[in-house]
Structure 1
Amino acid sequence: MERMLRRPVLSSMHAGFSLGALAGAGAGALAISALGGAHAIVGSVAEALGLAR
């Protein structure tokens, strides 16, 4: 693929993956702080999956 395009491609994909991971971690941290802690997040996910009793 890189030979066909005549430019490095894998390094840009790695950068995109890293930026996505950073954005996801930031969004998770904001969600936890906005919803009142990790217990609220776990409870919401469990309820959405039908695991809450």
Structure 2
Amino acid sequence: MLKLVKMNKDYLTPNYKVEALKNVNVEFRKNEFVSILGPCGCGKTTLLNIIGGL
């Protein structure tokens, strides 16, 4: 099982901070099929990159 609780990811630019993910809570269970859906720019790839980096 993989569980993320109150996960945040910010990107800093020279002028401001971008909140890519804010207070994300998700749980993936063993043998569970999961789809991550959403509009362009909502943080899907950021979430997968963080999970892949564990």
TM tier, shorter chain? under 0.3
More strand by share: 2
Q: TM-score, normalised by structure 1?
A: 0.27
Higher relative contact order (CA 8 A, sep 6+): 2
Q: TM-score, normalised by structure 2?
A: 0.27
